[in-house]
Amino acid sequence: MKTNNSFMIAAVAVCLFFSGCKPKDADIQAAVQAKETSGITVAVTKGEVTLTGEVADDAAKAKAEEIAKAEKGVKSVLNNIMVKTVAPVVIAEDPVLQKNVADAVKDFPTVKADVKEGVVTLTGEIQKTSLIKLMQRLSVLKPKKIDNKLTVK
């Protein structure tokens, strides 16, 4: 009986020791969450980490997984992070752009504007105060680029 009792105590102690060493899910969650960048959500169930959210690229997604795997007590990582898809920039077609650029520069008689493959090239001269107005008008027309070669007076 005596040996049995001490065996029980030893068994309980061993159990306590191990569960004491083993980080709890909530602790793991807090630790990993603190290391991840914003936009990533960390969930932990029995040491299994699930990552969700959105990042800019594949490298950031892989990095997030690495961070979680490196955390003590993590058994596995399910990486459900989405990589943001960036829509390409829409550039106006030349005929539309040419017409709109012509309208925009009409009131700046000293400015000449050429449009080729989306690039608006400005030559001539302009008053400093008018330049910002002209640039604002051209920038909303969806050009590929504004090549400003104007002489600012």
Partner 1 sequence: MALEDKYKQLTDAATGAGIADLEVREQDGVLYVDGTAPDGAVKDQLWDIYNQIDPNFTSGDLVLNVNVAADAAVTHAKVITESSNLNIRKGPGTDQPIVGKAAHGEVITLVNRSNDLWWLVRTNDGEEGYCYAQYLEPQA
Residues 112-131 as x/- pattern, contact with partner 1 by CB under 8 A: ----------------x--x
Binding of residue 143 to partner 1 (CB under 8 A):
yes
Give yes or no for a contact between 94 and 65, defined as CB atoms under 8 angstroms apart: no
Strands 119-126, 151-152: parallel, antiparallel or unpaired by DSSP?
parallel
- List the interface residues with partner 1, window 60-89 (CB under 8 A): 86, 88-89
Q: Tell me the C-alpha distance between 111 and 151, whole Å.
A: 10
Binding of residue 153 to partner 1 (CB under 8 A):
no
Task: Tell me which stretch binds partner 1 (CB under 8 A): 24-32, 34-42, 73-81, 142-150.
Answer: 142-150
Of 150, 95, 86, 87, the residue nearest 118 (C-alpha): 95
Binding of residue 56 to partner 1 (CB under 8 A):
no
Binding of residue 110 to partner 1 (CB under 8 A):
no
Give yes or no for a contact between 98 and 123, defined as CB atoms under 8 angstroms apart: no
Which residues lie across from 42 on neighbouring strands?
A: 51
Binding site for partner 1 (CB under 8 A): 86, 88-89, 99-100, 102-104, 106, 128, 131-133, 135-137, 139-148, 150, 152
